Amino acid sequence: MSLILGLETSCDETAASIVEDGRIVRSNVVSTQHDLHERFGGVVPEIASRAHLEKLLPVVQRALNDAGVSLQQLDAIAVGNRPGLVGSLVVGASAAKALSWSLGLPLIGVDHVLAHLYAPVLVGLGAKPQAAVVYPAIGLVVSGGHTSLYRVDGPGQVVLLGKTIDDAVGEAYDKAAVMLKAGYPGGPKVDAMAQLGDGAAYKLPRPLLGPQSLDFSFSGLKTALLYAVRGTPVGRGANSHFERDADDLTDQQRADLAAAFQLAVVDTIATKIKRAHKQLRADGCSIQSLIIGGGVSANSLLRNRVTALAEKLALQLHIPDMALCVDNAAMIAGLAHERFIKQDFDDLSLPVVATTSAHQG
């Protein structure tokens, strides 16, 4: 049996988790910073870093207590060291290195994005068991900082198929929430508002790029929503202004716009998945599964759509329990187990990397 402590501080969640044998979640503690960033409408890196410094040790202690284990019972320390906000990553990596050195335990750096694709296999603490993933699979990560499609050949073994060329889908949701004055965090607020609206009431574009493209672009959709909410800009330069803002719309109009935006996003994502499936099969790759991960995988419409899509394409769907959609350390510790069993460890020179890894483009 292995017990791995995972740490996650890539953005604005301070998280620690104990995972047994790469699958059983013994504890999963996540401390959010929503109250600190709400008035800014998005994450402020300096504020996030300072909050991690304050919260990390209490979060680790609670994870140990919840799991009923001591530091001396651990077999390894894992940390999400890429990608993310550099200042935030440094806090988690420094703590992981200190624990590794002082306890004489192996250190394992984990790619945060790829860990999202591992989250569906985790069980315990309310997460229901799922069938084992059959590879190869199509993997989709949809979060505040990433929107990427992969061919997944095994845990942590991926080939990038497409990625966002501008805004990630979660970032687009945050901007949409600001335009609609829906509140923060944007994803859940827009989702809730959209459920009261009619997505057919407004026609917003589906940014599909070229007919074969597997990349994503949400900046044009974001601009289209801006004009739908506020009207066409009047005047030029410093004298330009919008005709109105969200306060001039009825609650139903705002809900309809939220629904139209969400429908456009999910339509786009579904189309890209279908394209990836078709292209991979044409290349002789017999895709067996569809894996979804990341914070936006909690979106109600997306979950419904990919469930239907997987059934239509005869794919086995793997999507995380709601508690494991957001950034969490259980997925970090879980994926780290794959390296632990191979005795593939890092040393104390483990760097933090803000950008995606080479295999992610």
Same domain assignment for residues 291 and 216: yes
For residue 83, being part of any structural domain is answered with yes
Whether residues 159 and 308 fall in one domain: yes
In the chain, % helix, strand, coil (3-state, to 5) comes to: 45, 20, 35
Asked if residue 122 lies in contact with residue 22, where contact means CB atoms within 8 angstroms, the answer is no
What is the rounded CA–CA span in Å between residue 289 and residue 293? 13
* 275 assigned to some structural domain: yes
Domain of 179: which CATH number? Answer: 3.30.420.40
Whether 191 and 297 share a structural domain: yes
Same domain, 162 and 96: no
Instruction: At 143, give phi and psi (nearest 5°).
Output: -150, -175
Question: Residue 178 domain-assigned?
Answer: yes
> What letter represents residue 233's amino acid?
P
Eight-class DSSP state of 216? B
The answer to whether residues 164 and 308 belong to one domain is yes
| 337 and 220, same domain (yes or no) | no
Sheet holding 316-318, edge to edge: 157-163, 147-154, 137-142, 289-293, 316-318
Looking at the fold, whether 109 and 7 belong to one and the same domain comes out as yes
Whether 189 and 119 share a structural domain: no
pTM > 0.75: yes
Q: Does the bond joining 185 to the residue before it have cis omega, within 30 degrees of 0? A: yes
pLDDT tens string 26-45: 999 999 887 878 778 778 88
Residue at 248 is within a domain: yes
In this prediction, residue 357 carries a pLDDT of 56
Beta strands 289-293 and 316-318, pairing class: parallel
Gap between the Cα atoms of 353 and 345, Å rounded: 17
C-beta separation of 109 from 77 below 8 A: no
State both tokens at 207. 């940014």
Distance (Å, rounded) from C-alpha 121 to C-alpha 117? Answer: 9
Are 348 and 265 contained in the same domain? no
Place of tokens 């483009």: 361
| pLDDT at residue number 158 | 97
State the DSSP string of 47-58: HHHHHHHHHHHH
Count of domains observed in the chain:
2
- In this structure, the answer to whether residues 109 and 201 fall within a common structural domain is no
Segments forming the whole domain that contains residue 70: 3-127+324-360
Per-residue pLDDT of the chain (361 residues; tens, 9 = 90+): 899 999 999 988 999 999 999 999 999 999 988 787 877 877 888 898 999 999 999 999 999 999 999 999 999 999 999 999 999 999 999 999 999 999 999 999 999 999 999 999 999 877 778 888 999 999 999 998 889 999 999 999 999 999 999 999 999 999 999 999 999 889 999 999 999 999 999 999 999 999 999 999 999 999 999 999 999 888 787 778 888 989 999 999 999 999 999 999 999 999 999 999 999 999 999 999 999 999 999 999 999 999 999 999 999 999 999 989 999 999 999 999 999 999 999 999 999 998 765 444 3
Same-domain status, 113 and 234? no
Whether 118 and 141 map to the same domain: the answer is no
**Of 115, 173, 148, nearest to 326 (Cα)?**
115
Name the helix (H) or strand (E) containing 82.
strand 76-82
Residue at 132 is within a domain: no
Please state whether the peptide bond connecting residue 155 to the residue before it is cis, i.e. omega within 30 degrees of 0.
no
Q: Are the C-beta atoms of 164 and 145 separated by less than 8 Å? A: no
| 11 in any annotated domain | yes
